[in-house]
């Protein structure tokens, strides 16, 4: 697997445990929205991370990653990596990609930093001329985990096709619904037989959401899921 040199352009830490890393690569990285790349740095074992921004024309020299504290490489990136430092990245990998020819309503479900993959998929969908809506459901244990809350609230204002829903499963906060994200989906949809769904997050959330979607009559072939737990 060939690796491409990348330089950290900036690092934003919207919460205590999550860093948003933007890098610029020496040459364009080929990938599709929804795919991940392998990252290598220092002497750490290489790891795979979802690319959080959609490419233009199937490639980009500007990549965004959402990385939780984790261990080893993840911990190094969140705690120690600074702007101007170097990484190596691969081209895109993975089979969970945006189905551009599909015009069905989209139900996007994310837990934690699983939002990275989902964000890229939403961007890809919004690049297309489409009439059907896009729904994002993002669940977190606490308010810090909704680390792009302001971004998606603004996107909801700017794009009438996009709806943003969110919930906190542990923390009680007056401005945020309390409960599981599956509870919101249960309340909001009578059936999902004409929908396509993408989801990414902790295994229990992904499995519970799959069960609910099947109960709501979604076609199993239209469920696209990964279970990244960092």
Q: Which CATH fold topology does 4-89 show?
A: Elongation Factor Tu (Ef-tu); domain 3 (2.40.30)
Give which of 41, 47, 34 is closest to 6, Cα–Cα. 41
- Three-class DSSP category at 124: helix
Backbone phi, psi, residue 10, to 5°: -160, 160
Same CATH fold, 106-226 and 4-89? no
Per-residue pLDDT of 151-199, as tens digits, reads 999 999 999 999 999 999 988 888 888 999 999 999 999 999 999 999 9
What ranges do the domains of the chain cover? 4-89, 106-226
Hey, how many other C-beta atoms are within 10 angstroms of the C-beta on 99? 16
Instruction: Tell me what pLDDT residue 229 has.
Output: 45
Instruction: Tell me what pLDDT residue 227 has.
Output: 53
**CATH architecture observed for domain 106-226:** 3-Layer(aba) Sandwich (3.40)
Provide the β-strand partners of residue 176. Answer: 173
Q: Is the pTM for the entire model greater than 0.85?
A: yes
- The H-or-E segment that residue 25 falls in is strand 18-30
CB 188 within 8 A of CB 161: no
Instruction: Tell me what pLDDT residue 69 has.
Output: 82
What is the spatial distance between Cα 79 and Cα 117, in angstroms, rounded to a whole number? Answer: 22
Instruction: Tell me what pLDDT residue 37 has.
Output: 97
Instruction: Tell me what pLDDT residue 230 has.
Output: 38
Over the chain (230 residues), the average pLDDT of each successive run of 10 is: 91 87 96 96 93 95 93 90 93 91 93 94 91 95 92 96 94 87 96 96 94 97 73
């Amino acid at each position: 697997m060939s690796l491409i040199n990348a330089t950290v352009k900036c690092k934003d830490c919207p919460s205590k445990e999550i860093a948003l890393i933007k890098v610029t690569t020496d040459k364009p990285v080929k990938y599709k929205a929804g795919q991940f790349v392998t990252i290598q740095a220092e002497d750490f074992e290489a790891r795979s991370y979802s690319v959080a921004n959609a490419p233009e024309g199937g490639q980009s020299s500007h990549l965004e990653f959402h990385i939780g504290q984790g261990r080893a490489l993840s911990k190094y990136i969140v705690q120690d990596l600074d702007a101007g430092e170097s990484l190596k990245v691969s081209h895109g990998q993975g089979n969970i990609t945006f189905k551009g020819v599909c015009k069905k309503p989209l139900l996007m479900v994310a837990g934690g930093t699983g939002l990275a993959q989902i964000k890229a998929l939403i961007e890809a969908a919004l690049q297309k001329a489409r009439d059907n809506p896009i729904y994002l459901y993002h669940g977190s244990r606490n308010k810090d985990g909704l680390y792009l809350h302001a971004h998606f609230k603004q996107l909801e204002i700017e794009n009438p096709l996009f709806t943003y829903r969110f919930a906190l499963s542990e923390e009680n906060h007056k401005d945020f619904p309390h409960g599981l994200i599956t509870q919101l989906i249960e309340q909001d949809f009578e059936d999902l037989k004409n929908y396509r769904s993408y989801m990414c997050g902790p295994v229990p959330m992904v499995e519970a959401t799959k069960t609910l979607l099947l109960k709501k009559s979604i076609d199993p072939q239209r469920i696209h899921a990964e279970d990244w737990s960092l």
